Structure 1
Amino acid sequence: MSIPTALSFFNSTSPYTTTEIYVNISLAPPAYPCEDWPPVPMTTLIPSIYSIICVLGTIGNALALSVLAHGSASRRTVANTFMLNLCMSDLLFLLSLPLWAVYYSRGYSWPFGWVACKICGALHNLNLYASIFFITCMSMDRYLAIVHPLRSQSARDPKRARLTCILVWVLAFVCTAPTLALRDIQHIPVLDVEACVIFYPDHTWYLTLAIIKIVLAFLLPLLVISCCYCAIGRHLLADTGLVRMQNPSHTPSMPSFKSLESKESCGTPERPPTPCVNPSSSGGRPLEGRGLERVLWTVAAVVLAFFLCWFPFHCVTFLDVLKSEGWLDGCWINWTIQNLTPLTLCLGFSNSAINPILYCFIGNHFRGRLGGLCKGLCASCLKARGEDHSQKRGSFSTRLSSFSRKLSDLKDLAIVEASGPA
């Protein structure tokens, strides 16, 4: 039986999850043949998307992790601590994407064994929760640093940030534990494959875990992030006097954006530029002009990236919940859930590749430190090559000198022998 023409097996009432295996078959019951709704070729499309995300995300997070890990003790700030853990979470998950790409390319046949199925499934859900939790922590840290820079100095302590990261990892593991326990390799008769799926004991398990995922991994973080950045935007606009900025005659002298970005109490080089009040210049007024515009656009990019990457997936998951309760039905809902779920999940995974761009490479100082690290590596390579070349030259000179001495000794011996008695 071919995949496109197979009857419904992974429907919402099945104990197998529809949001984890994404089998490319028609979900419609016999009353709804859905012949006019062709399936998306998942076995070729998904592996290609996963490969692109894996390559770009691994490079970006590896570079960000290298810069953050090689920073001096003075650079180990609250923002850097959260960013370091976020990169670790994204990188761990991205390393498992090649296995999922192979899984899709083989028609949902898992060839890597039970242990790999458990680990890869755990990394998937762990990253789903941990990355969003760390983004939320970074948003709250920015809110405190910009809106309450003085009152939050004691709270924004690197030691407390490390403790917060530990709590985030623990919370993410707790949220991942149910799916880790339920994930297993199951034989799918309709496809004749051994699939790595989540096997729910009953519908209550599916409904509960789906709601937890929507609430904890999207709605609550989105609410906190939006509130933080809305407060940041109001604070910046109120303190700078946006109306006066539009008046060409009002051009107050402001500190440079780079000087503001370098201050720990204001913005850190590893995160998108954050303005602050510089009491030593411009009468303690915050950044204006192009600097403010850049900050506001960066803030908007953070929220939009999070929303655009994860909203479609959670929206389709919610549609699946409604269908499982019998509130929605028909070909369009079946096709949407079956075909858009894996595609929207790819979009969510792309957030792991976008994160280092938003939180690291936008910062001027971060790019400078990355350039310095690359120059240092190049200098080390050139120095090593130079030393190796010098050693080779020295070795050649030594061999030449030894050969010259031997030649001289032979010449002297020949002279002695020639001058001896006949």
Structure 2
Amino acid sequence: MSTEEYPDYDSNPTVQTVAPPLCRDAACIFLAMVNVMIFILGCAGNALVIWIAGLKLKKSVNTTWYLSLAVSDFLFCFFLPFNVVYSVRGDWIFGLFMCKFISFILFLNMFSSIFLLVIISVDRCVVVMIPVWAQNQRTIRKASVIVTLVWVISAVLSTPSVIFRNVQPHYEQPTQICYNNYNMHEENIAVVACRFMLGFLIPFLVIIICYIIIIRKLKINQMAKSKKPFKIMTALIVTFFFCWLPFHIIALMELNYTTYKSILPVGQVFGVTLASANSCLNPFLYAFMGKDFKRKCSALLSKMENAIKEEGQSTIPGTAITTSEEGKHSTTV
């Protein structure tokens, strides 16, 4: 949540930054309170999802996806207080390791979340289009392998935070700054472009293609028994899109700092806060996007379980998809 001043890289390879000011105005206090709320709700909600999907429900392909997504969101929310303290104090007091690690967790959450949403979309598409193949090939073991690969790839794509994040004393104040130390402007462009293309644009193109296929199939198959998981998937993806889009827009604007320097300080804080909010919203989507929304005003545990669990039938009437190894039912679209 720091505010960074981008220099002329050609004349001065050392990035001069300004630390966030002490949190005294109403807007800063409000955003700090919002982040505290995100921390509390995100940790509690995602911990509940982890408990339900990991311990209370029988293991299945569907719970494997949502459990991994909840773990990603929980990790991010758990470390959010470090950024809150930084924004309030205007001083990074946690050292170099945590400066790198907190940024790493942010992008690990971003990449793993969007990749898991892509996998969920492709999974629904496969169940709808080729249910017989899904019956034989859609197994918990393969889902676990896919999730492991997602985490490995996400970690690799998040390594620029480890490479470029740095801590140094402020050049005018007795404080420490946690900032991005790019030696060349081209490095900044490469990192931002990679995050935007691989962490946002390309995944959403894949998701849109899956959506078109699923919607066309649903129109043909008007007798689909349940569209609840499709609604949950839609809510998760739309929420991710609107929470992370401002973050990427601000990151792209930072590449032309001179033009947008008047709005970037506010934009940076707004973008990071909105991106952080995504990690606490998913548990509520699990709870409230199930069937009979108006009647689900109580029993949070049962609502979340109903939203996550496998229903045992595909959207194609008369087909019940089970995994070949575990004998578990798959979810409907």
- So what's the TM-score if we normalise by structure 2? 0.78
- 1:54 corresponds to 2:39: yes
Percent identity over paired residues: 27
| Contact 2:240-2:278 at 8 Å conserved across structures | yes
Structure 1: which amino acid aligns with 2:5? F
Question: In structure 1, how many angstroms separate the alpha carbons of the residues matched to 2:192 and 2:152?
Answer: 20
Q: CA deviation at 1:181?
A: 2.3
Aligned residue pair count: 293
Structure 2: which amino acid aligns with 1:11? Y
Question: In structure 1, how many angstroms separate the alpha carbons of the residues matched to 2:137 and 2:8?
Answer: 48
Q: CA deviation at 1:201?
A: 2.0
Deviates more, 1:137-146 or 1:61-70: 137-146
Superposition pairs for residues 277-292 of structure 1, below 5 Å? 285-287=223-225
- 1:85 corresponds to 2:85: no
| Contact 2:290-2:303 at 8 Å conserved across structures | no
**Match for residue 412 of structure 1?**
none
**Structure-2 change in CA distance of 1:128 and 1:373 (3 Å):** closer
Q: CA deviation at 1:364?
A: 5.8
**Structure-2 change in CA distance of 1:94 and 1:217 (3 Å):** same
Q: Secondary structure of the residue that 2:254 maps to in structure 1?
A: helix
**Structure-2 change in CA distance of 1:76 and 1:363 (3 Å):** farther
Q: CA deviation at 1:372?
A: 10
- 1:370 corresponds to 2:297: no
- 1:119 corresponds to 2:101: yes
- 1:104 corresponds to 2:87: yes
Structure 1 residue runs of 5 or longer lacking an equivalent are 1-7, 26-39, 241-284, 375-422
**Structure-2 change in CA distance of 1:63 and 1:299 (3 Å):** closer
Question: In structure 2, how many angstroms separate the alpha carbons of the residues matched to 1:56 and 1:369?
Answer: 14
The structure 1 residue matched to 2:266, chosen from 314, 339, 358, is 339
**Match for residue 201 of structure 1?**
183
**Match for residue 11 of structure 1?**
6
| Contact 1:309-1:347 at 8 Å conserved across structures | yes
The structure 2 residue matched to 1:94, chosen from 74, 77, 82, is 77
**Match for residue 267 of structure 1?**
none
Q: Secondary structure of the residue that 1:153 maps to in structure 2?
A: helix
The structure 2 residue matched to 1:319, chosen from 253, 278, 285, is 253
Superposition pairs for residues 83-232 of structure 1, below 5 Å? 83-107=66-90, 109-232=91-214
Q: CA deviation at 1:120?
A: 1.7
**Structure-2 change in CA distance of 1:180 and 1:232 (3 Å):** same
Question: In structure 2, how many angstroms separate the alpha carbons of the residues matched to 1:229 and 1:373?
Answer: 24
Question: In structure 2, how many angstroms separate the alpha carbons of the residues matched to 1:22 and 1:223?
Answer: 37
Question: In structure 1, how many angstroms separate the alpha carbons of the residues matched to 2:230 and 2:16?
Answer: 40
Structure 1: which amino acid aligns with 2:224? P
| Contact 2:15-2:181 at 8 Å conserved across structures | yes
Give CA-to-partner distance per residue, 1:210-250, whole Å, 9 cap, x none: 1101111110111112221222222112211xxxxxxxxxx
Structure 2 residue runs of 5 or longer lacking an equivalent are 306-333
- Structure with the greater relative contact order (CA < 8 A, sep ≥ 6): 1 or 2? 2
Superposition pairs for residues 265-280 of structure 1, below 5 Å? none
Q: CA deviation at 1:299?
A: 4.8
- So what's the TM-score if we normalise by structure 1? 0.62
**Structure-2 change in CA distance of 1:122 and 1:302 (3 Å):** closer
Structure 1: which amino acid aligns with 2:289? I
**Structure-2 change in CA distance of 1:9 and 1:364 (3 Å):** closer
Q: CA RMSD, aligned part only?
A: 3.1
**Match for residue 351 of structure 1?**
278
| Contact 2:21-2:89 at 8 Å conserved across structures | no
Q: Secondary structure of the residue that 1:186 maps to in structure 2?
A: strand
Q: Secondary structure of the residue that 1:358 maps to in structure 2?
A: helix
Q: Secondary structure of the residue that 2:56 maps to in structure 1?
A: coil
Give CA-to-partner distance per residue, 1:31-62, whole Å, 9 cap, x none: xxxxxxxxx86642432221111111111101
Q: CA deviation at 1:122?
A: 1.8
Structure 2: which amino acid aligns with 1:113? G
| Contact 2:112-2:151 at 8 Å conserved across structures | yes
**Match for residue 59 of structure 2?**
76
Structure 1: which amino acid aligns with 2:250? V
Question: In structure 2, how many angstroms separate the alpha carbons of the residues matched to 1:155 and 1:355?
Answer: 28
